[in-house]
Structure 1
């Protein structure tokens, strides 16, 4: 079998920064390819053989860092890993100079840094190097790929799926908005505390795509204003990695957005998703997270397949021809 036939389409030479920059059919292709690799991690011909993949994480990570490190190895690459204290960035070397050096030695870089998304773009630009955003303050695009792949696995064709997201409009929520805006007929409600919603420009950007695909996105701040029909309830940790909330009483605003068995009981057939890590008792009750309708652990396992699909795509012919 020629596994390259399953690739989702042309890749921009710069890599993956935001799902808003990726065509809907390519996002769907990445999700479908992830499911393929989830079912058979050998369904490829080691497309990264002979490549060196940098894995730079200056923020904590369990799933994403492990997924990209193992995914690179499974696809034939040698990963070169960097922790928060490993690069001369810590001694004052500029992002531009770092990018030039990494670009002269690596074939691809996966990065989660403490800086904004523009920092990853600069590393790519200065190094002439494809970069994968493994989570920035603005968006967690590879999580969006994983989430859409998990939906593909759980419900089949996600066309028309109805998703309720409960909690902060964080980088995972942004990625979910861009991913589901690419799904025809998807209906997505973001139930967020007032003052903690999705960035207006990101929601507007995703809504413009949704208008083309036939999807519907809405945001509500009153937890009583929830849809009558929901296929999936999704939440994330209230305290996003690497961030702090300016309001010392923020927990009071979040308490009504706790997902427990009584909330899930409103939609008896609905599945539950969580990107992890989870704080049982805060955003979700343990009986929901560990219950029979939870897909959280499937999502976690799907991270590896999603990382492999993204690495395979970003390392494709278009990237190598740069």
Structure 2
């Protein structure tokens, strides 16, 4: 049986993704009930970080501990990967000693190369192109809050970044419509949009895009590695802030998500973060439960 990896949402079937989301909800209930469940006892995860993280590190490390396993933090300062060792060599060595590898980095190609030479599952915990683990948490959150997302309308407001690309994949895999509102020059991957043109539309007007939507999502305007563009991006994205007034144009039952960290007063107003329609902190917690379900899927059933 070939090794399964999770580099984008397209690495799973829609049925498998639904299974993982539903299992995440169950695992959350088990943890909240104080039930001890350790399917990954004596399993080890290598966590390779080239990008800083709060939610990713805490959720994966806590998840492995709660499952009875161990998570090992590796930064470029700690490994030969940061000193120029070929990715292929590092993949062969690290995967011979652990049971699963999680990578948070810049280049999506690096993750693909690592997976190609790894003998154990590799999880993309964020690249410049995709952030599939966050989408598992987001889909879990919507399911808990509003039920099935199938046939609903989701709106992405802001930069056509890695999160936006993953939302396009999610629209395909979870069968919802996606409106993307972004300034000219900041659209998502054109090939992805074209491949999913039956369900993805790009707008310049946030107000037009958000009408009747069931979920409104945004992210910072300048991602890691784009800090030098911050001032220009604030200028370009003026008018794309998610506020309670913008949310009022959405469906009466709409909810708001943000993968965090948020720049309050930029892509989202202070008031929107604390608005009753905001589920950002439930969404953040669900990184733990969704990733535990993913780990169980990749390891416990292998």
Q: Structure 1 pair 183/113, CA: closer, same or farther in 2 (3 Å)?
A: closer
Aligned to 1:7: none
Equivalent-residue separation in structure 1 for 2:200 and 2:162 (angstroms):
16
Residue aligned with 2:186, SS: coil
Match of 2:236 in 1: 253
Q: Tell me the equivalent position of 1:3.
A: none
Residue equivalent to 1:167: 158
Query: What does residue 64 of structure 1 align with?
Result: 56
Whether the 8 Å CA contact 2:244–2:275 is kept in 1: the answer is no
Query: Could you say which residue in structure 1 is the equivalent of 2:134?
Result: 143
Query: Displacement of 1:45 after TM fit?
Result: 4.3
Which residue of 1 is the match for residue 183 of structure 2? Answer: 193
Question: What is the TM-score with the length of structure 2 in the denominator?
Answer: 0.92
Counterpart for residue 229 of structure 1: 212
CA RMSD of aligned residues (A): 2.1
Indicate whether 1:272 and 2:250 are aligned: no
Post-superposition offset of 1:77: 1.1
Corresponding residue to 2:77 among 63, 79, 85: 85
**Structure 2 unpaired stretches of 5+:** none
Q: How far does residue 233 in structure 1 lie from its aligned partner after superposition?
A: 1.3
CA distance in 1, matches of 2:210, 2:243: 17
Q: Distance in 2 between matches of 1:224 and 1:157?
A: 25
Count residues in correspondence: 299
Gapped runs of 5+ residues in structure 1? 1-10
The 10-residue stretch of structure 1 (158-167 or 271-280) with the greater mean CA deviation from structure 2:
158-167
Matched residue, 1:315: 299
**1:102 lines up with 2:86 in the alignment:** no
TM (normalized to structure 1)? 0.86
Task: Return the match for 1:287 from 268, 271, 274.
Answer: 271
| Deviation sequence 1:271-311 (CA, Å, 0-9, x none) | 11111000000000011011111010000110100110111
Tell me which stretches of 4 or more aligned residues in structure 1 moved more than 4 Å: 42-45, 244-248
Alignment partner of 1:123 is 2:107:
no
Q: Which moved more, 1:125-134 or 1:146-155?
A: 125-134
Aligned-residue offset at 1:227? 4.7
CA contact (8 A) 1:169 1:192 kept: yes
Q: 1:203 to 1:30 in 2, by over 3 A?
A: farther
Contact 2:207-2:249 within 8 A present in 1 as well: no
The residue that corresponds to 2:66 in the other structure is 74
Matched, 1:305 2:295: no
Pick closer, same or farther for the CA change 1:12–1:137 going to 2, 3 Å. farther
